[in-house]
Amino acid sequence: MTRSKGPVVAVDLGGTKYIAAVIGPRGKMLSRVYCPTLSHEGHARIIDRLAASIKEAVKEAGFKLRDMAGMGVAAAGIIDINRGLITEAPNLPKWRNIPLRDLLREEFKMPVFVLNDASAAALGEHCLGAGRGLDNLIYMTVSTGIGGGMIINGELYNGTDGSAAEVGHMIIQVDGPLCHCGHYGCLEAMASGTAIARMAEERLRSGWTSILSKSRRKITAEDVAAAAKKGDVLACQVIDDAAGYLGIGMAGLVNLFNPQMIVVGGGVSALGERLLRPARKSMKQHAFKLPAGTVRVVRSALGADSGLMGAAIYARRQAGGKP
């Protein structure tokens, strides 16, 4: 087997967790290593642990590093795709101008390609998931933060520098809460998992009654989701509000790009129709009737693996192999 026809390493690096995997030429996942990011440790320590996980994934798949055709890294943050640089990452504190591509190239002596994690997920869903066969789609990941990726005329749209589709940092409410990026009222600050947890805690402090009041630790979006499933009024209202803001963000994208589909992934998408139904309603209220009637809003088909699959596809294409 020549190296160009071999499997590729795929990495999904986020603010909460990272995954290293080996993906075969036909999209088969041969190994998968999951670890918490522990972002407070700083980039040098995280990259060291990531490198160890990559080696573990290759060994687990039954290969050696020399067998790999290349590596695709789907990373959270504003990516300079031409230089493989993470210029900033709101959910990875102090990650500024980190030359991730060059660091991994030096370590592994193989072609390495870095792109935004949501852009990678958009490519994965387009080729292997919910958006197969479509020419125009938008992917939105709703998790710790909110990210986005776009397929336009059948191709991944990266923009001039590779930082296109940062949908989480569209400003929805100019006097809204502070976002991790330093601006106020971003979609991420209004509708992400972090925002859901914050809104729940704010309402508890203001005197709302809820089963969440019994929690002795910091409330998470997962706690709110679980409470909503039990019919808790506070939790249901928080999710409805977050979904409403998400729909406003979708409406702007629908008016601007007229996509066939919006695919929603990320941890918060596990709420399913509990999130998507009010988000669709809000989107239709705020978008033009024609494109709002055309677009379908669906949950990711690949789930947590959309970014990995997209990173693998991107690496193989950039290295000159078949998609």
- Contacts with 128 (C-beta within 8 Å, 6 or more apart), sequence order: 27, 301, 302, 309, 313
Q: Which residue type occupies 193?
A: G
Of the listed ranges 3-7, 156-160, 188-192, 280-284, the least confidently predicted one is: 3-7
CA distance 121 to 314: 10
Question: Is residue 323 predicted with pLDDT exceeding 60?
Answer: no
Of 241 and 321, the structure prediction assigns the larger pLDDT to 241
Structure tokens at 302: 């690949």
Q: Which residue type occupies 262?
A: I
CB 263 within 8 Å of CB 129 = yes
Question: Is residue 1 predicted with pLDDT exceeding 50?
Answer: no
Half-sphere exposure of 110 (CA within 13 A, CB side): 27
Residue 26 has what pLDDT?
81
Residue 4 has what pLDDT?
59
Closest CA to 140 of 114, 169, 113: 169
Q: pLDDT tier at 3 (50, 70, 90 boundaries)? A: low
Q: Give the global pTM.
A: 0.92
Burial class of residue 106 in the structure, from the number of CB atoms within 10 Å of its CB (0-12 exposed, 13-18 middle, 19+ buried): exposed
For the stretch 8-49, pLDDT in tens is 999 999 888 899 999 998 889 999 999 998 888 888 999 999
Of 320 and 217, the structure prediction assigns the larger pLDDT to 217
Name 17's bridge partners: 36
Residue 298 has what pLDDT?
98
Q: pLDDT tier at 76 (50, 70, 90 boundaries)? A: confident
Average pLDDT, the chain: 93
Any idea how long the chain is? Answer: 323
Distances (CA, A) of 310 to 11, 42, 65, 71, 270: 10, 26, 20, 11, 20
Classify the phi-psi angles of 212: left when phi > 0, otherwise alpha if psi is within -120 to 50, otherwise beta: alpha
Question: Is residue 122 predicted with pLDDT exceeding 90?
Answer: yes
Residue 230 has what pLDDT?
96
Residue 309 DSSP SS3 = helix
Query: Using N-to-C axis directions, what is the helix angle for 233-257 and 273-286, rounded to 10°?
Result: 50
CA distance 317 to 323: 6
For the stretch 232-285, pLDDT in tens is 999 999 999 999 999 999 999 999 999 999 999 999 999 999 999 999 999 999
Domain 3-116+308-318 CATH superfamily: ATPase, nucleotide binding domain (3.30.420.40)
CB 262 within 8 Å of CB 300 = no
- In the chain, the largest separation of any two C-alpha atoms, in whole Å, equals 65
CA distance 86 to 293: 37
Residue 2 has what pLDDT?
44
Residue 283 has what pLDDT?
98
**Is domain 130-301 in CATH 3.30.420.40, yes or no?**
yes
Helix, strand and coil content of the chain, in percent to the nearest 5, comes to 45, 20, 35
Question: Would you tell me how many other CB atoms lie within 10 Å of the CB of residue 49?
Answer: 16
Residue 321 has what pLDDT?
54
Q: Which residues of the chain are in CATH 3.30.420.40 domains?
A: 3-116+308-318, 130-301
Which long-range contacts does 31-40 make (Cβ < 8 Å, 24+ apart)? 31/57, 31/58, 31/60, 31/61, 32/57, 32/308, 33/57, 33/60, 37/13, 37/92, 39/15, 39/91, 39/92, 39/93, 40/93
For the stretch 94-120, pLDDT in tens is 889 999 999 999 999 999 999 999 999
